[in-house]
Structure 1
Amino acid sequence: MESPTSAASRVDFYGFLDRMRRPEAADLFRSIKSFLTSLSLDEPSAEADGARVQAFFAEMEAAIRGHPLWADATHQEIDHALEGLEKYIMTKLFDRTFAASPEDAAADAEVSDKIGLLQRFVRPHHLDIPKVLNNEASWLIAVKELQKINSFKSPWEKLLCMMSCCQVINNLLLNVSMTNDRTPSGADEFLPILIYITIKANPPQLQSNLKFVQLFRRETKLVSEVEYYLTNLISAKMFIINVNGQSLSMEESEFQKHMESAKLGTQMSVAGPSSPQGLATSTRGLQKQIDAEGSRFPFMDSETENLTPAELKQLHGLYRKTVTRYTLLSKALRKLSIDEDQLLASVDDS
């Protein structure tokens, strides 16, 4: 379902195009065409392009405010025209300005790969998110909003996706504070949830999208609530890039074990379990997981009569997990052995 804000954005754009088709707008249209042509003559440079685009927006704002087509326009109508202008310009310049350099592609891949690993083991408690704020339904909505970000080409529409995600989180915090008579804690709880949502969503080309919005959204509109949400999402990205054990309330050695296990899991997914390489990787990965779990069994030195019912239930769960993994490991070893025998037999027959 389309949000009212995105629908309004499209109305702004079509309204702008409608006015640009009128004979009275010929001078404005020539200015726009001239700017796009002059920019295309130079080598792309994100920062330089951003500065030139921002200067052009300011120039066109003055021209529109003084133009006969908007002589009796309200402040809101002028703003709608400027939104339409921004979308038109940035749609035309999209291929030049969005993720256009090898450095952009590398940065996007780094963030996406890092998030892919964190998705395998990071849970809300690692970010000190209180259980009362664990709301899968709200989180799923926020995730879906953030994942829409590559569906649009204008900075404003991309920013709307970010804002919609953040507003879902903000509404969750407000609802919980009213329901449970809690004092809202602002960024202390907002940012950890946003980090977790970003990890769950792994939004496409996150670095490039943030850079695009920062450089090409009209500077006069990056204020107040918009600036707050954008700054928090940039902070979430930086947290993910620099994450370590301390960031996730765990020992660094434990964090590194989780990361290595996640990398093995990713390699197994890429290699595929049906190939000898995949089976070998799966076997090594399962064995490492079992070894890691075994070294952390909490009841190794406990006496049976001293265990509480809750501890017995936990112990039974660990037992079932161990048996399941042992069974999987045994099957993988048997399959690997059969495949190796067949490979050797084929060599002997040749």
Structure 2
Amino acid sequence: PPPPELDPDLPFDFHRFLEQLRHRTADPVAKYLRSFLSEFSKKQWMVHEQVKIIHDFLGFITGKMGLCEVWREVSDQEFDHAKEGMEKLVMNRLYSQTFSPAIPPPNPPTPIGRRSRGREMQMTGRRGQHQEDVERDEILAQKVRIYGWVREEHLDIKPVGESGRKFLTLAMQELEKIKSYRAPRDKVICVLNCCKVIFGLLRHAADGDTSADRFVPLLIYVVLRANPEHLVSNVQYILRFRNPDKLGGEAGYYLSSLMGAIQFIESLDRSSLTITDVEFEKNVEAAVAAIAEKPASPPRASAADDERSSRRPGQHDYNKSNNKPSNNSNSDTDDPTAAVAGLLRSIQKPLSTIGRIFGETTGPAPPEVDNPGGATPRGRSPAPQGRGVQRAGSGRSGPGGGMNAEEAAARQASAEAAEALRIQRAEHDDVVEILKNMFPELDKDLISDVVVQKEGRVGLAVDACLLLSS
């Protein structure tokens, strides 16, 4: 694997970014943001259009942020964190339109226009590459159900022992968390944590061999055992909407490895395993029979429902073809370039103020503090209390004595910060307990200090514990 990236001197803090966005000098940026979110939601875009529009907007708004007083004099690292915060905020809000399983399934085409003859047909709901993602999710899930019996020896994995199984269990837990979070950055962190734990297991082994020949079979085994929901869609979502500059180094290596594991499972057959024909046929027949006997289960909740019901801390085309129009797509416009340009022009006309961004929503929006639980990526830190969340003079009541938008926003921010702190403490305790079981020779208080120092990043904490125990 590539060398681990150095920890930044200044951790990413999403709450700090939200505070900066509430600053009066950031009002122009907030207005452009609100306008963009409103305009984006007025039409169902194809995948390649979404990718271009969102990346173009993030590039545009980065330039506007650099002109604001609140960001003009900050360090390069803090401004990079502000860009990360903007990506997270935008993708949190557009998740139901950009994450394939969260988009409603396709409906039968409906005619456009009043006349019965010569009417065009419009298809609503999930389509094009979004529909392909979900179909691949279903194929992968079916493969995992059929090959759920695969054991380490079938993949030529050396025995890992009881201690090694704790590493693998933790890796599965980290990968399963990918479904619970909306920001591409947070999903990447789930993948990183999973892979770092696996590498921790390899470094912990007697021979210390961390080659790809040892790593990839373990990753395949973890995917088969964890069977995370919508794994293909999650990977595609990361590839499409994560800042491309952040997909090099470790992130790029681990994502490529995960895509390789997915493709291996999709094409899995007898020749892929070390197993006798008799044992293979017996296991497959038993798995197929068990699937056939299992009563039909109710449809799984959509990713959007999953997000709301979970605790609230808030290439298949793997070669850049995601940016190209799909052959079977039914675009709503004859000229997608013109449509994209029109949307980008429309955001030049801001629609509202910062108070409305945080005080009004069109529906139940989740708190903006959703970071991978347990993994506690950088950026989970709650906003410092009493630090200018509310502007001077915003304590005035609105008509009828009720709270105005800014008061509501301040209360919401305070409640979110308190909830984030509670979740962070609970997850800290969980991580410490898991690591204590993995490294019983280390003092629990020492492990707690390590987790704090590594800001809850499970992969980094495992590396540190390995060094301390060696």
The equivalences for 1:46-195 within 5 A come to 46-99=47-100, 100=103, 101=126, 102-119=131-148, 121-132=149-160, 135-176=164-205, 180=206, 182=207, 184-195=209-220
Query: Are residues 45 and 133 of structure 1, via their aligned partners in 2, closer, same or farther at CA, if it must alter by over 3 Å?
Result: farther
Query: Are residues 41 and 125 of structure 1, via their aligned partners in 2, closer, same or farther at CA, if it must alter by over 3 Å?
Result: same
Determine the C-alpha separation between the residues in 2 that align with 1:207 and 1:133: 30
1:224 aligns with 2:249: yes
The equivalences for 1:1-350 within 5 A come to 12-99=13-100, 100=103, 101=126, 102-119=131-148, 121-132=149-160, 135-176=164-205, 180=206, 182=207, 184-250=209-275, 255-270=280-295
Query: What's the CA shift for 1:103?
Result: 3.4
Query: Are residues 171 and 68 of structure 1, via their aligned partners in 2, closer, same or farther at CA, if it must alter by over 3 Å?
Result: same
8 Å contact kept, 1:98–1:208: yes
8 Å contact kept, 2:157–2:218: yes
Query: What's the CA shift for 1:259?
Result: 2.2
Alignment root-mean-square deviation, CA: 2.3
In structure 1, what residue type is equivalent to 2:256? Answer: T
8 Å contact kept, 1:129–1:192: yes
In structure 1, what residue type is equivalent to 2:81? Answer: H
Q: How many percent identity over aligned positions?
A: 32
| Secondary structure of residue in 1 paired with 2:228 | coil
| Secondary structure of residue in 1 paired with 2:13 | helix
Determine the C-alpha separation between the residues in 2 that align with 1:132 and 1:92: 42
Count the aligned residue pairs.
Answer: 260
8 Å contact kept, 1:244–1:255: no
TM-score (ref. length: structure 1): 0.69
Name the counterpart of 2:412: none
In structure 1, what residue type is equivalent to 2:53? Answer: R
In structure 2, what residue type is equivalent to 1:151? Answer: S
Name the counterpart of 2:458: none
Question: Unaligned stretches of 5+ in structure 2?
Answer: 1-6, 104-125, 298-470
Determine the C-alpha separation between the residues in 1 that align with 2:177 and 2:284: 28
| Secondary structure of residue in 1 paired with 2:269 | coil
- Write out the 4+ residue segments of structure 1 that deviate beyond 3 Å after TM superposition: 250-257
8 Å contact kept, 1:245–1:254: no
Q: Give the number of the structure whose alpha-carbon radius of gyration is greater.
A: 1
Determine the C-alpha separation between the residues in 2 that align with 1:252 and 1:212: 38
In structure 2, what residue type is equivalent to 1:123? Answer: R
Query: Are residues 72 and 110 of structure 1, via their aligned partners in 2, closer, same or farther at CA, if it must alter by over 3 Å?
Result: same
8 Å contact kept, 2:203–2:210: no
Name the counterpart of 2:450: none
| Secondary structure of residue in 1 paired with 2:82 | helix
8 Å contact kept, 1:104–1:207: yes
In structure 1, what residue type is equivalent to 2:154? Answer: H
8 Å contact kept, 2:155–2:217: yes
TM-score (ref. length: structure 2): 0.52
In structure 1, what residue type is equivalent to 2:228? Answer: P
Query: What's the CA shift for 1:225?
Result: 0.5
